Amino acid sequence: MIIIRKPVLNDAERIAKVHVSTWQSAYKDLVSSEYLNSLSVSKSKEKWEKNISENSSIIYVAESQGQQIVGFISGGKNRDLDDHSEYKAEIYAVYVLADWARMGIGTKLFKAIVADFIELNYNSMLLWMLKGNSTEQFYQKLSGVCLSEKPYKIGGSTKTLVAYGFDNIDNLFD
């Protein structure tokens, strides 16, 4: 069984482990191995401790029965006020460990954060993803619409970020 819940400060290290591990598996064909190998759980842990303690974004974790964190989502107000300011909310990150993928956990994490967005009167949202990974199909299944692309420098080369927009999120899971 998977429990979706808000994190406590003590979860920061386990979230960081998921963050680093999913980056290293999901982006291995897209981002240089040098960059991926340089990702540090301890630095990521510090960022997550800050995020959790400052309450600056909405975060949910997915916890397995063995109390292992296997995925997380974070989001809040849309940070991209240049191109797509009509979208009120933004998913900042969503990651599920490769061994736990395709079990409905990503969808459960989306449902949890979307419920919070609706309470905050955010009726639409967007997210930016690295072009070229298979997660586009996940967003398309949730009725996401490709909005635009922009260049993104990472690991010594320039990649492409793709924005997906979701309108009327009150009806996303009807």
Ligand X SMILES: CC(C)(COP(=O)(O)OP(=O)(O)OC[C@H]1O[C@@H](n2cnc3c(N)ncnc32)[C@H](O)[C@@H]1OP(=O)(O)O)[C@@H](O)C(=O)NCCC(=O)NCCS
Q: Are 118 and 84 in contact (CB under 8 A)?
A: no
Closest-approach residue to ligand X (CB): 106
Q: What string of H, E and C letters represents the secondary structure of 85-104?
A: CCCCEEEEEEEECHHHCCCC
Binding characters for ligand X, 65-94, by CB under 6 A (x = yes)? ----------------------------xx
Binding residues for ligand X, how many (CB under 6 A)? 21
- Cα 24 from Cα 124, distance rounded (Å): 30
Distance in angstroms (rounded) separating the CA atoms of residues 172 and 166: 8
Binding mask 102-121 for ligand X (x = CB under 6 A): xxxxxx--------------
Say whether 127 sits in a helix, a strand or coil. Answer: strand
Interface with ligand X, residue 20, by CB under 6 A: no
101 near ligand X, judged by CB under 6 A: yes
Is the distance from CB of 105 to CB of 140 less than 8 angstroms?
no
- Piece in contact with ligand X (CB under 6 A), picked from 3-11, 38-46, 99-107, 149-157: 99-107
150 near ligand X, judged by CB under 6 A: no
SS3 state of residue 5 = strand
Q: Which residues of this chain interact with ligand X, rule CB under 6 A?
A: 22, 26, 93-96, 101-107, 127, 129, 133-135, 137-138, 141
